[in-house]
Amino acid sequence: MLADRWWLGALVGLFIGGAFYLTCLPAPAPPPPPPDGLAALLHQVLPIWHGHVELARTQTQAAIDTLSARFAAINDRLGHSRQLSSEPREVRMQQLLHDADQQLATLAQALERILQSRQALQGKLEGLAAANDEIRQLALQNEQLAGQTGVSDLLSSEQSWQQLAQRAAANSRQIVLRTKAARQQIQAAVIAAAQLPDGADGVVENSRALIGQVLAGFGQAATALMATVDQMAAENRAVDQEVGEILVNLQFQDRIGQILEQLQGDIARLQASACEAALPSPQQWLAALEQTYTTPEQRQVHVGGGARLTPQAQVDFF
Amino acid sequence: MEKSILIVDDSFSLRQTISIALKAAGYDVVEASDGREALKKLDGRKFNLVISDLNMPNMDGLDFVREMKQMTAYRFTPVIMVTTESGETFKQEGRAAGIRAWVHKPFQPAVLLDAVAKLVLP
């Protein structure tokens, strides 16, 4: 009976051997699943979305880096400006004004002393002139008296002649006294006048030196102030440039917002389309996405380019 | 009297950016956040210039300029378009609508001020 079933044993053996042979062979790669619409679409769209996210990330990073650097530069410049207008400089200016005030007060006192000496001398000279007038007057009276003692009057009355002689003698004594006093006044005036030029010369020299010092101090202060003003103006210009750069980089918010908004729109479109029976082809989808781009770098990303900012002319006039 | 400029942009930061540059140059500034709001600002007062964005909600820059040019008081008011859009088709449409200059974002404030100085009405 077994002999009748020999073919069955051969068949089982063949089956086991074949199975053993098959398990020893390398497994063949599973065939790719037939691409359904969604998978094919994602295969093409996701790298572009990735590129746009990278573009937004790169632009954000670059703008923030630039803004940080500009703010740091402005901070440095403001610190420098604060140093330029710092307290020691103000204190030096106050000291300069105080010194100038004191020096000029000394000068004013010296000039006042000269003025007083001049007034004293003038008083002496006026007194001298008055004495001179009195002497001249007395001399004139004596001349008149001498005239009366002339031809007719001399012999007319002995009494009157004696009176005239007494008056002439009195006048002569007055003249002598006045002349003595005048001589003393002249000596005093000469002494005062002799003292005045020496003092005045010294005051003039000192005044010249003091005024020179004060002017030199103000000159140095003015030069320092001008240098500070120039530095402040240079700092102002530099800060203006930094602010200009900040204003440029703040505008990236608009670009980045636009890129992310378009990306959100495309994600929402895919979500809506995924529920539909027939998806558009990847080519149709990408063409529609490309229509939403506004910047050259988005178009670069779309064709597989890098997320690099394209320089372009800033203004076109029509 | 200061020259008055209308800024139309949906981005607050962009309006601020342009406003800072213009005010520093001595211009008076009025702001609107889209074309529809900008049309309400065109109430008869004089504007020496208009600066507008292109892509905005409610009413975009091109539609706004087309409507503005229909208004007698503003027919000759010059318009500068400030936008990220660099496509030639849009520029041609802008030119046909009466726009006088197309400034690309991001721009240097000095470049915008130069364009403003060239176009602003006396």
- Quote the mean pLDDT of chain B: 93
- Between A196-210, A215-229, B16-30, B102-116, the lowest mean confidence (pLDDT) is in A196-210
For residues A262 and A55, the answer to whether their CB atoms sit within 8 Å is no
For B80-94, what is the mean pLDDT?
Answer: 90
- Between A25-34, A87-96, A142-151, B22-31, the lowest mean confidence (pLDDT) is in A25-34
- For residue B106, is the peptide bond before it cis, meaning its omega torsion is within 30 degrees of 0? yes
Return d(Cα A180, Cα A282) in angstroms, integer. Answer: 136
Beta bridge mates, A73 = none
Q: How big is chain A by its Cα radius of gyration, in Å? A: 60
Highest mean pLDDT among A9-23, A68-82, B105-119: B105-119
Q: What is the dihedral of CA B95, B98, B104, B107, to 10 degrees?
A: 150
Give residue A12's pLDDT band: very low, low, confident or very high (50, 70, 90). very low
Residue type, A228: T
Q: How many C-beta neighbours within 10 Å does residue A55 have?
A: 25
Q: Give the pairing type, strands A315-317 and B101-104.
A: antiparallel
DSSP calls for B3-57: -EEEEE-S-HHHHHHHHHHHHHTT-EEEEESSHHHHHHH-SS---SEEEE-SS-S
Phi/psi at B49 (nearest 5 deg)? -165, 155
Return d(Cα A256, Cα A297) in angstroms, integer. Answer: 11
pLDDT given at position B4: 97
pLDDT given at position A232: 86
Comparing A38 with A265, the larger pLDDT belongs to A265
Q: What is the dihedral of CA A255, A257, A258, A260, to 10 degrees?
A: 120
Residues 19 to 48 of B: which have CB under 8 A from any A CB? 20-21
pLDDT given at position A24: 44
Termini Cα distance of chain A: 106
Q: Which residues contact B98 (CB under 8 A, 6 or more apart)?
A: B65, B66, B69, B79
Phi/psi at A99 (nearest 5 deg)? -60, -45
Residue A35 at interface with chain B, using a CB cutoff of 8 Å:
no
A30-88 pLDDT per residue, tens: 555 545 678 888 888 888 998 898 888 888 888 888 888 888 888 888 887 777 776 66
Token look-up 């781009």 returns A293
Give residue A14's pLDDT band: very low, low, confident or very high (50, 70, 90). very low
Instruction: Answer whether residue A3 shows pLDDT above 50.
Output: no
How is chain B split into domains, by residue range?
4-119
Q: Tell me, rounded to whole angstroms, the distance of Cα A203 from its chain centroid.
A: 43
Comparing C-alpha atoms, which of A42, A47, A72, A53 is closest to residue A242? A72
pLDDT given at position B94: 94
Instruction: Answer whether residue A8 shows pLDDT above 50.
Output: no
pLDDT given at position B77: 96
Comparing B116 with A226, the larger pLDDT belongs to B116
A213-261 pLDDT per residue, tens: 888 888 888 888 888 888 888 888 888 888 888 888 888 888 888 888 8
Instruction: Answer whether residue B114 shows pLDDT above 90.
Output: yes
Q: Tell me, rounded to whole angstroms, the distance of Cα A58 from its chain centroid.
A: 36
pLDDT given at position A19: 45
From A244's Cα to the closest Cα of chain B, the distance in A is 6
CATH architecture group of domain B4-119: 3-Layer(aba) Sandwich (3.40)
Comparing A170 with B9, the larger pLDDT belongs to B9
Return left, alpha or beta for B103; rule: phi > 0 is left, psi -120 to 50 is alpha, else beta.
beta
Return d(Cα A198, Cα A103) in angstroms, integer. Answer: 21
Instruction: Answer whether residue B30 shows pLDDT above 90.
Output: yes
Highest mean pLDDT among A141-145, A146-150, A198-202, B58-62: B58-62
Interchain pair A294, B87: CB under 8 A: yes
Give residue B28's pLDDT band: very low, low, confident or very high (50, 70, 90). very high
Comparing A35 with A181, the larger pLDDT belongs to A181
pLDDT given at position A249: 82
- Between A21-25, B1-5, B99-103, the lowest mean confidence (pLDDT) is in A21-25
pTM flag (> 0.80): no
Interchain pair B55, A258: CB under 8 A: yes
For residues A185 and A131, the answer to whether their CB atoms sit within 8 Å is yes
Contacts of A247 in chain B (CB under 8 A): 17, 20-21, 109
Domains of chain A: 37-302 (1.10.287)
A115-158 pLDDT per residue, tens: 888 888 888 888 888 888 888 888 888 888 777 655 555 556 66
Percent with pLDDT over 90 in chain A: 2
HSE toward the beta carbon, residue A142, CA cutoff 13 A = 15
For A250-273, what is the mean pLDDT?
Answer: 86
Return d(Cα A293, Cα B83) in angstroms, integer. Answer: 12
A151-170 pLDDT per residue, tens: 555 556 666 777 777 887 88
For A174-190, what is the mean pLDDT?
Answer: 81
pLDDT given at position A224: 84
Residue A271 at interface with chain B, using a CB cutoff of 8 Å:
no
Instruction: Answer whether residue A289 shows pLDDT above 50.
Output: yes
CA distances to A103, A199, A271, A285 from A267, in Å: 84, 101, 6, 12
Give residue B48's pLDDT band: very low, low, confident or very high (50, 70, 90). very high
Interchain pair A317, B100: CB under 8 A: yes
Interchain pair B86, A244: CB under 8 A: no
Residue A68 burial by Cβ neighbours in a 10 Å radius (0-12, 13-18, 19+): exposed
Comparing A17 with B30, the larger pLDDT belongs to B30
Token look-up 């002393």 returns A113
From B52's Cα to the closest Cα of chain A, the distance in A is 14
